Structures are given as C-alpha cells and as structure tokens.
Copies of this chain bind each other. A is one copy, B any other.
C-alpha cells in the first residue's frame, strides 16, 4: 500500500425530507448570502427549489438564483455565475441538482475568489481557495457531493476537463433518496453506470497488497448489482435508491481508493464521446468500459479474474484464468445492457469517422503529449483500436 492522506470533512444529512435542513446547514457553515445554482426542469416542477428557498428564508438568509446548468456543464454559465456572485456579495454556493450542477457550482466557488481566469484550474492548477459549497443532491452518480473534483466543458473546442482541490469539498451535502424518484429509468441507469465506473477505475491498480480497498470496492459493486435493477424497474422504490445513493458517495469520496494507483482511462476516453456527442456520461462509460478492460486484460489477468469471481460470481477457470477474466467483463457489459445502457457506437449515436478527431483531442489535449496513463499506458494507436472496438 502506498502512503496517502485522506480528508473527507463533508457533513452528510441523509434521508427523507432532509432538504428542509438546507437553511440551518448553510447557517451552521457560515453562509449569509447564498447563490442557489440549479439546472431547471424537475427541480422547479417538483417544488424542490421552493422548499429549499423556504428553508433559507426561515433562517433569514438572503439569496440569488442562477438556473440553466446543462449536462456536461459549460464554462459560459460559470463566468455568468462568478460575475453574479461578485456583484451580489454572495458568500455561499448552494447547488441543487446532480453532478453537473455541483461541478458548475464548484467552478463558480473557485472562480469568485480567484483573480485570474477560472479555466486555469481546469488546466492543472490546484484549487487552494473557494467559497464554501453545500449541495442538495437529486441524482446518484457523479459522487461530486463528497469529492474535491469538478469537470467543466469549455465551449471553444468543446474541451472537457477536470479540476480538483480540498477547498472544493462541500461543507455539507443533503442526500434525500426520494428526490431521485423523478429520474427516468434511463437517467437512473446512467447514474449507476457512472458509480460502477468510479469503482472500476479504482480497482484497476498496479499497487500490490491492497486487500482492504479491493474488498470495499467489491462491496459497493455488489450493492449496485443488487439494487440497480430494482431502482430502474420501480422508480417508487425508496430503499434501492437509498442504497445506491450512499454507495455512490462512498464510491467517489476515495475512502476505497486510498493508497493505490488508479486508472481513469475509461473516464478520459469517454469524456471525448460526451464532449462530441453530448451523450450522457454514464451511457458513454457503458460503451467505453468493456472495450478498455478487454484491451487491458493481458496486463493483469488475475486482477480481472478476481473481480470476475468475487463480484460477478464467475467460477474460476484454473486452467485458463483469462477466460474467467473475460467472462467478468462480459458480465459487466450484459449487466449494463440489462438496465438499459447502450453497448456500442451505434446505440450511443457515435460515428467511426470521428475517431481520428477524438483520438487527437484525447492524446494531445489537456497538456498530454501523445499518451494516456493509468493501469496501462495507451498511445494514439491503442486509443484508436479501443474506439474501434466500440464500433461492433
């Protein structure tokens, strides 16, 4: 196990009706003038936004609003949010929504207290300071509610890039599983796929002797395998959504990723897909993961065989461990299809002709110099082959 530090100071308020605690929590963590940041649609229609506002008003807190966050959130709205916060003297950002809204809120929080262009953080600069952030989560997926990470897409060139910093960890996150009941089965499945990807990206490690984190990752994957089909089939089922919601947070606050090298090539490869086609991140991951894993299987057959047997219940083929390893990857693909995720370029709406462009952006964007590093190192040729494997 490698040396590491772990810091997850977010206060989690979990369960039915917890959105009514928003005002008290903003106050507890020092806010007085709040930016409520959200997308639109269901947050407004469901009355959630009104309930959150009432909770702030009950505590005598002032607020301004900025809606309009879209999936794969854009830099344009971030600039708008930064200007608004400066003009209105906002001292606390409250994100009401899913990963996109939280990520956009983090970008604004970092940008308000920074003299330069907030995009600097998405070009590799560590976020040292930010306004305090709280969240009211409406979809279990990104794990942004407990993480120090944010991903934003810059309109020019559709560059999708990430930033990080402990200052971006939310002061509090309100997790009410019932708020996810308005999601469609497809949105629910996309969230589940993202959570499973966060787990696989940590599982694919080159660090030895990491039984504790291996076992925890497996535990959370087993939870998804049991609960996701229930949540997708019955949007009213509270308990499956509660299990998924806590698993989603644990999957990405890094408690099960500490002390080990991680992968993240599937996320990088997928980011080009959702940047170009504006597809759901989870849907892109469903297509990407099996291809990346199959391409990488020879690097560590036993690791893939381990997850196949421990998580997917495959019988170990002791004469041919690679068969077991590949069977586990097939189980993952079949599972994701069974909950309604796409399996290839055609179902995703991606096109083979865009592969050269995506490979170039992937391998040379964001300061990269031709390779993608992680569980294995991939060059342009490798990435081309992986995208081609998705086009079956």
Contacts and interface: CB of A to CB of B under 8 A. Distances in A.
Interface stretch (A221-229, A289-297, A320-328): A221-229
Contacts of A243: 1, 209-212
A293 B16 CA distance: 32
A219 interface: yes
B1 A5 contact: no
Interface residues of A, number: 44
Interface stretch (A7-15, A70-78, A123-131): A7-15
Contacts of A247: 212
A52 B227 CA distance: 47
A114 to B, nearest CB: 22
Contacts of A12: 4-7
Interface string A220-258: 101100110000000000011011101100100001001
Contacts of A1: 15, 177, 239, 242-243, 246
Contacts of A218: 219
A146 to B, nearest CB: 10
A258 B14 contact: yes
Contacts of A3: 14-18
A13 B18 contact: no
A14 B6 contact: yes
A216 interface: yes
Interface of A: 1-9, 11-18, 177, 208-213, 215-216, 218-220, 222-223, 226-227, 239-240, 242-244, 246-247, 250, 255, 258-259
